[in-house]
């Protein structure tokens, strides 16, 4: 079933009300907190293990009520149910959107059957195959062609076939089996594969070629370079085809929806793990695309990871919109971007292990919601798709927070942290001044988290600056913080596999909420196609083909000519 026409959100009563509120809006977080002692408690919600405090957002009950009305009128809850049921809500590709099925528990009832396929059975058959393979690598039963156990797994993929696995691997490093390491090659810049393989032993290296389509230029080029590297380093460059393919069979596996293309590359389909066209690349981290991570952290941890996603899926499915965390966070984003003019959104994890989280979210959010037409092809009626960005705290504090605190742009922020550190350490000596001997360093770290959200919300008035002894009015102005900079605080007990799954699902459903309100298909990505097509057309020109060069526009032609000149060719 394809989708009905999207509702124009701007035509809803809630939207009109928000327009009116925004026209005379003067946020006053100090005043709101002073006059409403229950604000923090009322706006703090729970989704599985995630405690989410929305109270430092620029909202009050009236705004939230109107936003919720928009969600109801654009049928956010109904469309979520349609997604779970496998309706073809990816309208432009006429596909179901079923990443939520990747984490349904074994034996869930009733079984999910979509387009005649038992989706649950398919998902768990693949999971079992991935687990069995991962166990063999972890135990040393799977060896390279010379009989040595695997020590390094190199995932070759890009976009959703890279960003998810690398982010999760980095986040769950404390769960990685000692003696095993994963690396990730994505860029077609040959420097990437060169640097990632330079110090590797081919006898103990396993490559996973991860590509949904198995047609992506970067991934297939890197896969061929990896195969070439393997043959060369094993001394097989001039060996027989049989010897070469024996080496490939022991050192290459694949993850793809296109198993025929995997076989054509020379990888035994027995060593290929499938998934389905109803999983978008950027929603695929919990499919077989995560095989590198399953090898690194093992089946039990991966099951916990999936359970975390499912807990948040269930939260969204069963919780009224008024308490529904991803829906409310999506609605706040709509308020900030469509009514208050925010153009970007910063995600600031206060846990170093999440250092790739913002990069991961960039694809999830921007490839999903960076669209200018709706799912029926009509133009959108609002701005869509904020720019997501961020870096872990406290590093960001010493880089770009200045602009968030005192710049002229409104930048909503999400602060994410965990209570129990994976690596607790004490500063035994301290400096005797700011840091006392025996200081718990994680507590000091989190003091920064709390301080930043407080500073953003409440700022510092000119009078407070003067009261600290500043008398020069020019300096008073420079030292004043307006406050009223919105943040959402997300606190979890510990960065476990489950909590990580919960965080990812949280953002998947924030994206879903915003996309539904805007009426866009968050599951296609036609906008990446033109550049890919042109790269293939331009490649011969860059390689010196004069006719191809002559066919280019004058700027591109001149740039390529300069490139060739600089290379001395
Ligand atoms: O170019 C964008 C994209 O299609 C992403 O959506 C996808 O995650 C990535 O390329 C990689 O695609 P594949 O997994 O098919 O190699």
Q: Which two tokens mark 102?
A: 């990747």
pLDDT value at 306 more than 90: yes
Distance 277 CA to ligand 1 centre (A): 12
pLDDT value at 1 more than 70: no
Residue 112, CA distances (Å) to 86, 107, 283, 368, 449 in order: 8, 10, 19, 25, 42
Active site residue 562: no
Residue 4: per-residue pLDDT: 81
* 8 A C-beta contact, residue 101 and residue 85: no
Residue 89: per-residue pLDDT: 97
Distance 527 CA to ligand 1 centre (A): 12
Q: CA torsion, points 239, 188, 172, 301, in degrees to nearest 10?
A: -60
Question: In degrees, to the nearest 5, what angle opens at C-alpha 124 toward C-alphas 119 and 129?
Answer: 130
Q: Name the catalytic one among 303, 367, 386, 514.
A: 367
Active site residue 367: yes
Q: pLDDT by residue (tens digit) across 106-134? A: 999 999 999 999 999 999 999 999 999 99
Q: Which two tokens mark 252?
A: 């290459």
With 0.95 as the threshold, say if the pTM is over it.
yes
Ligand 1 contact, 186 CB (< 6 A): no
Ligand 1 contact, 217 CB (< 6 A): no
Q: Could you tell me where the DSSP H helices lie in 183-234?
A: 190-197, 217-233
pLDDT value at 2 more than 50: no
Query: How far is 562 from 541, CA to CA, in rounded Å?
Result: 12
Q: Which helix (H) or strand (E) holds 119?
A: helix 119-139
Distance 185 CA to ligand 1 centre (A): 14
Closest ligand 1 atom to 158 CA: 11
Closest ligand 1 atom to 210 CA: 14
Query: How far is 300 from 127, CA to CA, in rounded Å?
Result: 12
The residue among 323, 400, 450, 318 whose CA lies nearest residue 46 is: 323
Ligand 1 contact, 282 CB (< 6 A): yes
Q: pLDDT by residue (tens digit) across 405-449? A: 999 999 999 999 999 999 999 999 999 999 999 999 999 999 999
* 8 A C-beta contact, residue 233 and residue 202: yes
Residue 244, CA distances (Å) to 208, 261, 352, 358 in order: 17, 19, 41, 40
Q: pLDDT by residue (tens digit) across 314-357? A: 999 999 999 999 999 999 999 999 999 999 999 999 999 999 99
Active site residue 93: no
> Using N-to-C axis directions, what is the helix angle for 554-567 and 529-542, rounded to 10°?
50
Q: pLDDT by residue (tens digit) across 359-404? A: 999 999 999 999 999 999 999 999 999 999 999 999 999 999 999 9
């Amino acid at each position: 079933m394809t989708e009905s026409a999207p509702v124009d959100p701007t035509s809803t009563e809630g939207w009109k009300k928000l327009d009116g509120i925004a026209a005379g809006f003067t946020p006053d977080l100090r005043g709101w907190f002073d006059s409403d002692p229950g604000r923090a408690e009322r706006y703090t919600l729970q989704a599985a293990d995630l405690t989410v405090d929305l109270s430092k957002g620029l909202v009050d009950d009236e705004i939230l009520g109107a936003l919720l009305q928009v969600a109801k009128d654009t049928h956010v809850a109904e469309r979520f149910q349609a997604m779970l049921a496998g309706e073809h809500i990816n309208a432009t590709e006429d596909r179901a959107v079923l990443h939520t099925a990747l984490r349904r528990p074994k034996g869930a009832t009733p079984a999910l059957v979509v387009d005649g396929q038992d989706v649950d059975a398919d998902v768990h058959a693949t999971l079992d195959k991935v687990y069995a393979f991962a166990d063999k690598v972890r135990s040393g039963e799977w060896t390279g062609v010379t009989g040595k156990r695997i020590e390094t797994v190199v995932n070759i993929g890009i976009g959703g076939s890279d960003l998810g696995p690398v982010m999760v691997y980095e986040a769950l490093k404390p769960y990685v089996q000692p003696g095993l390491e994963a690396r990730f090659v994505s860029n077609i810049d040959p420097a990437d594969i060169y640097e990632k393989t330079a110090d590797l032993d081919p006898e103990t290296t396993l490559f996973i070629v991860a590509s949904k389509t198995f047609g992506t230029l970067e991934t297939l080029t890197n896969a061929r370079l990896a195969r070439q590297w393997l043959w060369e380093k094993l001394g097989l460059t001039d060996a027989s085809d049989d010897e070469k393919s024996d080496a490939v069979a022991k050192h290459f596996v694949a993850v793809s929806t296109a198993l025929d293309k995997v076989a054509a590359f020379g990888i035994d389909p027995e060593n290929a793990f499938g998934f389905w066209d109803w999983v978008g690349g950027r929603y695929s981290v919990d499919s077989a695309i995560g095989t590198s991570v399953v090898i690194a952290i093992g089946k039990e941890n991966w099951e916990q990871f999936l359970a975390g996603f499912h807990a948040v899926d269930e939260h969204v499915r069963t919780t009224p919109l008024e308490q529904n965390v991803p829906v409310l966070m999506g609605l706040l984003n709509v308020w900030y971007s469509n009514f208050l003019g925010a153009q970007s959104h910063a995600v600031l994890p206060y846990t170093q292990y999440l250092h790739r989280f913002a990069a991961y979210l960039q694809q999830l959010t921007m490839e999903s919601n960076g669209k200018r037409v709706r799912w029926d092809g009509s133009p959108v009626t609002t701005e869509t798709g904020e720019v997501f960005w961020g870096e872990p705290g406290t590093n960001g504090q010493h880089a770009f927070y200045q602009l968030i605190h005192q710049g002229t742009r409104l930048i909503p922020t999400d602060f994410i942290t965990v209570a129990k550190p994976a690596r607790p350490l004490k500063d035994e000596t301290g400096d005797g001044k700011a840091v006392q001997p025996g200081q718990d360093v994680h507590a000091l770290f989190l003091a920064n988290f709390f301080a930043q959200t407080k500073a953003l919300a409440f700022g510092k008035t000119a009078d407070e600056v003067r009261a600290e002894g500043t008398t020069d009015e020019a300096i008073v102005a420079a030292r004043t913080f307006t406050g009223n900079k919105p943040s959402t605080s997300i606190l979890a007990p510990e960065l476990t596999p489950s909590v990580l799954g919960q965080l990812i699902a949280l953002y998947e459903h924030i994206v879903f909420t915003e996309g539904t309100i805007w009426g866009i298909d968050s599951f296609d990505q036609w906008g990446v196609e033109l550049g890919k097509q042109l790269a293939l057309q331009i490649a011969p020109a860059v390689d010196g083909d004069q006719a191809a060069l002559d066919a280019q526009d004058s700027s591109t032609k001149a740039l390529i000519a300069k490139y060739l000149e600089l290379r001395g060719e």
